[in-house]
Amino acid sequence: MAASRSRVLSVAARTGRLGVIVLEGPDLIYWSTSAKGSKSADAAALVLRGWIAEFRPNVLISENPDAAGRKRGRQIPILKAFVDLGTELSLPHRVVERRRLFNNAHQEAAAFVRQFPDAAPTAHGKPPIWGKEPHNLVCFEALALARDAGCIEATEPDAPEDIPG
């Protein structure tokens, strides 16, 4: 009988969007976003509850709301709702501090695409200053949380200009 592979669900919040990725062992098997879930902490908990029911992860990963350096507004209560839901469901939950290894999220997304080529269609280059942020950039933030929790190999910046000063 084959050993079961660990299934990890990592969830992230950005302004106007939640993102989820599911890893089975080292493989990225699912990624998606939800605009509806970003409206409130209750909406976020409902969406996360649905993802947990669908994918039945062994581990839940989210960002530490008390150390969420660049998070503000609705994002903080949403991150707290993730922690509360993990506790309520008695699901092993890694609450991690987000590490900034790149100058911006677009450089980080490009590094993750090299590691997970199937995610390439979700990666978009940095938009012009007047353009909107790609809605699925939050999926790469969920990948970064999985990396910071030690569930996937670390992504490395390609060039010195990718490294924050």
Which among 134, 108, 133, 132 has a CA at the least distance from the CA of 121? Answer: 134
What's the rounded Cα separation, in Å, for the pair 153 and 147?
6
pTM of the model: 0.81
The string of pLDDT tens digits covering residues 36-63 is: 998 999 999 999 999 999 999 999 999 8
Q: Which architecture, in CATH terms, is 7-162?
A: 2-Layer Sandwich (3.30)
For range 5-16, the mean pLDDT: 89
What's the rounded Cα separation, in Å, for the pair 157 and 155?
7
**The pLDDT of residue 34:** 92
The string of pLDDT tens digits covering residues 115-152 is: 766 665 555 555 445 455 656 788 888 898 998 888 87
Counts for the chain of helices (H) and strands (E), in that order: 4, 5
Backbone angles phi, psi at 25, to 5 degrees: 65, -130
